Amino acid sequence: MTTDPRELYTVEEDTAAELTRELAETGDTQLVLVHALRGFIDAGGAGEVATEHLLERFVARRLVTFDADRLVDYRARRPMMTFDVWRWRDYDPPQLVVDLLRDADGVPFLLMHGLEPDVQWEAFVAAVRQVVERFGVRLVVGMHGIPMAVPHTRPLTATRHGTRRELTSTPGWFGMVQVPGSAASLLEYRLGRWGIDAAGVGVHVPHYLAQSSFPAAARTALEHVEEVAGLALGADELAGAAADAIEQVDRQVAESPEVAAVVRALEEQYDGMERGIGRVGLLADAADLPTADEIGAELERFLAEQPRPDGE
């Protein structure tokens, strides 16, 4: 039985009316929908931290709420509940929503965030299309982190892709590859087939920091979104947190000659790629360089041996 996409979401009509009226009065046709869905790859928490920044920095009003009961597999990703002595005190239900925000210049934009749907991807994508068309969204852009064999001591790069060449960055780091799909990727693909501009930013996060919260990755993601979407999202406001995180990693690396050697090898590989950028697949001579798995195993071993902040 085919699901009617309209059944998957509800619209806060007061917020919708306000937005529609504002767009009509200003003649603004530049509305952008930014999205970061939890559940797929997000190395360094690039998309998650960027989303938290946007929600903290700008006032958000709920515009659309998707029906989690129809889209989320609760047994695969069980929501948290709080038990207090003799009773269940709280329940944290899964959410997938679209909020209305205004950037630093007062320009309205939409932010879709929450859990990636487990099921009914096609119906979900069709539902997002309805939202896009109702509010005249001109561009949909996603952001997340990709684990890569790159060092934290070099500027973070990103792979930018889109439904038109003009939305992407050149040159790229990848040729043709097949990877597991995601709802966000399917959304971009389908929107392109429907003639709607869509793009995505995948920040290249050091493999050994993929499981950590790495604000530098969020900052880079937001910088790319600012560039492609023309929004003022306060990416530079994450500079302090990014510098603190890198300083902490530097201290940990300096305590282990083995790890420092691994980072130097990554630096050589990165620099070789930078020198040969534009020729897809060209790297420095990697014969003596460790693989990503070897790098990750070595650094994970080192970090696991470090004392916990509470002294345990």
Higher pLDDT, 275 or 241: 241
Residue pLDDT, tens place only, 18-61: 999 988 888 777 799 999 999 989 999 999 999 999 999 999 99
The H or E element that residue 126 is part of is: helix 121-134
Q: Are 162 and 138 in contact (CB under 8 A)?
A: no
Q: Write the burial class of residue 60 (CB in 10 Å: 0-12 exposed, 13-18 middle, 19+ buried).
A: middle
With bands split at pLDDT 50, 70 and 90, how would you rate the model's confidence at 156? very high
Q: Are 104 and 48 in contact (CB under 8 A)?
A: no
d(CA 154, CA 114): 31
d(CA 225, CA 150): 22
The pLDDT score that the predictor gives to residue 286 is 44
The pLDDT score that the predictor gives to residue 238 is 97
What is the model's pTM? 0.87
d(CA 269, CA 280): 14
Q: H helices of 37-107, where?
A: 46-57, 68-71
230 phi-psi bin (left φ>0, alpha ψ -120 to 50, beta other): left
The pLDDT score that the predictor gives to residue 26 is 81
The pLDDT score that the predictor gives to residue 177 is 80
Residue pLDDT, tens place only, 179-233: 889 999 999 999 999 999 999 999 999 998 999 999 999 999 999 999 999 999 9
Residue pLDDT, tens place only, 66-90: 999 999 999 999 999 999 999 999 9
With bands split at pLDDT 50, 70 and 90, how would you rate the model's confidence at 270? confident
Each domain of the chain, given as residue ranges in start order, spans 5-236, 243-305
Does 171 sit behind a cis peptide bond, omega within 30 degrees of 0 on the bond before it? yes
d(CA 216, CA 44): 9
With bands split at pLDDT 50, 70 and 90, how would you rate the model's confidence at 278? very low
DSSP, collapsed to helix, strand or coil, labels residue 33 as: strand
Nearest to 33 by CA among 119, 176, 120, 130: 130
Look up residue 220 and give its two tokens.
Answer: 């880079």
CB atoms within 10 A of CB 278: 9
- Across 100-124, average pLDDT: 97
As a CATH number, domain 5-236 is 3.40.50.10900
Distant-in-sequence, close-in-space partners of 280: CB < 8 Å, separation ≥ 6: 171, 172, 173, 174, 175
The alpha carbon of 190 is separated from its chain's Cα centroid by a whole number of angstroms, namely 19
Whether residue 307 is predicted with pLDDT greater than 60 in this model: the reply is no
- Across 144-171, average pLDDT: 90
The pLDDT score that the predictor gives to residue 179 is 85
Q: Are 138 and 30 in contact (CB under 8 A)?
A: yes
CB atoms within 10 A of CB 61: 14
126 phi-psi bin (left φ>0, alpha ψ -120 to 50, beta other): alpha
**Total H helices, total E strands in the chain:** 9, 10
Whether residue 6 is predicted with pLDDT greater than 80 in this model: the reply is yes
Whether residue 281 is predicted with pLDDT greater than 70 in this model: the reply is no
